[in-house]
């Protein structure tokens, strides 16, 4: 039971729990629509496994593969770094979930989602992800190229670390960054997921 449901239960007829749930849902939806909830999230299926998608008032702030990073760990980090006021509301993330579905179905090559980079640490990490966002569907870049484009050609390892900590994979396409010579490198969702994303985008040889 949420805190909101608990409050409503005290004021609603105790014999009507469905009314409490309905009031809670209505109040939650109204709060989300009014921008009064700092963080909303939803769990959504994908061909790569369950994803947790979280949004702030500014945009999508986190996409996580829950088989690698459990939902509770993601929510704990969001509470610590942004706000403890977090509400699960799939309808509030309909656009993000729809665009992800379209991407996996092969019907979308770019995302039209506002992004919030609040979880990205440091200006270099932000520049790395900004440069990564510019890699087009079907293209790829090396870690060295991304480091150079981010303004520090020798910081290849730091660029790799920033990509490994990418809080919004898929939408910020760190899967399109490869080792010099074409090796896969690493990926937050596992190498099988990286191969499948690249294959979806036409890189069948990897």
Is residue 200 within 8 Å of residue 100, measured between CB atoms? no
Per-residue b or e along 61-91, where b marks 16 or more CB atoms closer than 10 Å to that residue's CB: bbbbbeeeeeeeebbebbeeebeeebbbbee
Is the predicted pLDDT of residue 104 greater than 80, yes or no? yes
How confident is the model over 182-203, as pLDDT tens digits?
889 999 999 999 999 999 999 8
Q: Decide if 113 is catalytic.
A: no
| Active-site residue, selected from the candidate residues 174, 178, 193, 197 | 174
Is residue 28 within 8 Å of residue 89, measured between CB atoms? yes
For the whole model, what pTM was predicted?
0.82
Pure H helices in 67-175 = 71-81, 94-104, 123-133, 143-149, 156-164
Confidence of residue 26 (pLDDT cuts 50, 70, 90): very low
Confidence of residue 27 (pLDDT cuts 50, 70, 90): very low
| Domains parsed from the chain with CATH numbers | 33-119 (3.30.160.70), 123-200 (1.10.10.10)
Angle formed by the axes of helices 156-164 and 123-133, to 10°? 80
How many residues in the chain? 206
């Amino acid at each position: 039971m949420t805190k909101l449901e608990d409050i409503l239960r005290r004021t609603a007829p105790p014999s009507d729990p469905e009314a409490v749930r309905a009031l809670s849902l209505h109040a939650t939806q109204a709060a989300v629509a009014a921008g009064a909830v700092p963080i909303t999230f939803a769990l959504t299926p994908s061909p790569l496994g369950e994803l947790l998608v979280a949004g702030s008032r500014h945009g999508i702030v986190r996409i996580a593969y829950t088989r690698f990073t459990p939902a509770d760990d993601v929510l704990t980090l969001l509470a610590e770094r942004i706000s403890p006021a977090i509400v699960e509301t799939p309808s509030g993330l309909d656009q993000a979930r729809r665009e992800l579905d379209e991407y996996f179905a092969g019907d979308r090559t770019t995302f039209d989602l506002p992004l919030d980079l609040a979880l990205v640490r440091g200006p270099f990490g932000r520049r790395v992800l900004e440069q990564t966002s510019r890699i087009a569907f079907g293209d790829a870049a090396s870690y060295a190229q991304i480091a150079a484009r981010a303004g520090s050609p020798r910081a290849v390892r730091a660029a790799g670390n920033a990509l490994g900590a990418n809080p919004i994979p898929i939408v910020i396409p760190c899967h399109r960054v490869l080792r010099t010579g074409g090796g896969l490198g690493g990926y937050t969702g596992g190498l099988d997921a990286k191969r499948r994303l690249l294959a979806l985008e036409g890189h069948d040889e990897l």
